Amino acid sequence: MLIDTYGRVATDLRVSLTDRCNLRCTYCMPEEGLQWLAKPDLLTDDEIVRLIDIAVRVLGIEEVRFTGGEPLLRPGLVGIVERVAALTPRPRMSLTTNGIGLKRMATALKAAGLDRVNVSLDTLRPDVFKTLTRRDRHKDVLEGLEAARAADLTPVKVNSVLMPALNDNEAPDLLAWAVEHDYELRFIEQMPLDAQHGWKRDGMVTAGDILTSLRTRFDLTPEGRDERGSAPAERWIVDGGPHRVGVIASVTRPFCSACDRTRLTADGQVRTCLFAREETDLRAALRSGAPDEEIARIWRLAMWGKKAGAGLDDPSFVQPDRPMSAIGG
């Protein structure tokens, strides 16, 4: 079990498979990209599967989410999914992707054992997509979403970040489109995880702003705390159902007290929180020949020291050194 001093138990593992990405989203990294991790620093496929096996078999992890960077860029992705699906007990598996390449890989990922996907899409307008991501790939994302639904990687969830003066007026259009295509839409407040440290609380599009905008066109009924559980998204029933929309208010309504996550970076570091400034090295233990029990002990110790919250409401908050692309979403 992975428990901390506040009684929270981690059952959800986020695994970053690569720090590389084929988009350059303005809220994540600079236009010229970043200095990528050297290949020897990355966990190998075997190392990733071994750590997930320890997490599932020894530490009580029930769900694994593969992230990046962009996880579809990981050459061994399908094989990793297939091997994790064969673990006992078998964890639920999902993947967060920008959708580029999903049209080509959706069927193979489903056959390997992947259960569902989250796809990032912030706008319905190709010109705005190009401005936000600095790439002209909007059509590829839409086709990837369609392929995921056809492959039964469901529910297909769509993650959207709204940015002032760019797409902040698109919330109702995005929800109407998601309902039409049977996707579950989730809006995420922009978080201070950009490589250029340009995030500012003033002017950000808040959960309150998003809900106010949605209610100009839709009737939203709160789903209720019992339904939410430890999920980060507060959800609302749209026009009486069955469709739902979620809002992840990481900044204005943090959900740290119910957090059930532990995170593994592409270079083998345990992070107890997206906003943590400390990491615990598992790669060194792996490569020094440590047995599973020792790796589990290090992991437990790291999680025991998890802080009460992210500290975003603290005026002295300092943004993490690693951007989102390097630690997974």
Check: CB of residue 156 under 8 Å from CB of residue 195: no
Q: Is 261 annotated as a binding residue?
A: yes
Beta strands in 121-243 (DSSP E): 157-160, 184-188, 220-222, 234-238
Check: CB of residue 197 under 8 Å from CB of residue 171: no
Q: Is 283 annotated as a binding residue?
A: no
SS3 sequence, 141-195?
HHHHHHHHHHCCCCCCEEEECCCCCCCCCCHHHHHHHHHHHCCEEEEECCCCCCC
Check: CB of residue 51 under 8 Å from CB of residue 295: yes
Q: Is 297 annotated as a binding residue?
A: no
Q: Is 135 annotated as a binding residue?
A: no
Q: Is 65 annotated as a binding residue?
A: yes
Q: Is 92 annotated as a binding residue?
A: no
Q: Is 256 annotated as a binding residue?
A: yes
Q: Is 259 annotated as a binding residue?
A: yes
Q: Is 14 annotated as a binding residue?
A: yes
Q: Is 263 annotated as a binding residue?
A: yes
Q: Is 208 annotated as a binding residue?
A: no
Q: Is 262 annotated as a binding residue?
A: yes
Distance CA 185, CA 120 (A): 10
Q: Is 149 annotated as a binding residue?
A: no
Distance CA 310, CA 287 (A): 31
Check: CB of residue 187 under 8 Å from CB of residue 160: yes
Q: Is 69 annotated as a binding residue?
A: yes
Q: Is 27 annotated as a binding residue?
A: yes
Check: CB of residue 128 under 8 Å from CB of residue 160: no
Binding-site residues for GTP: 14, 65, 96, 157, 261-263
Binding residues, as ranges, are 14, 21, 25, 27-28, 65, 69, 96, 120, 157, 191, 256, 259, 261-263, 273
Binding-site positions for [4Fe-4S] cluster: 21, 25, 28, 256, 259, 273
| Binding-site annotation: residue ranges for S-adenosyl-L-methionine | 27, 69, 120, 191
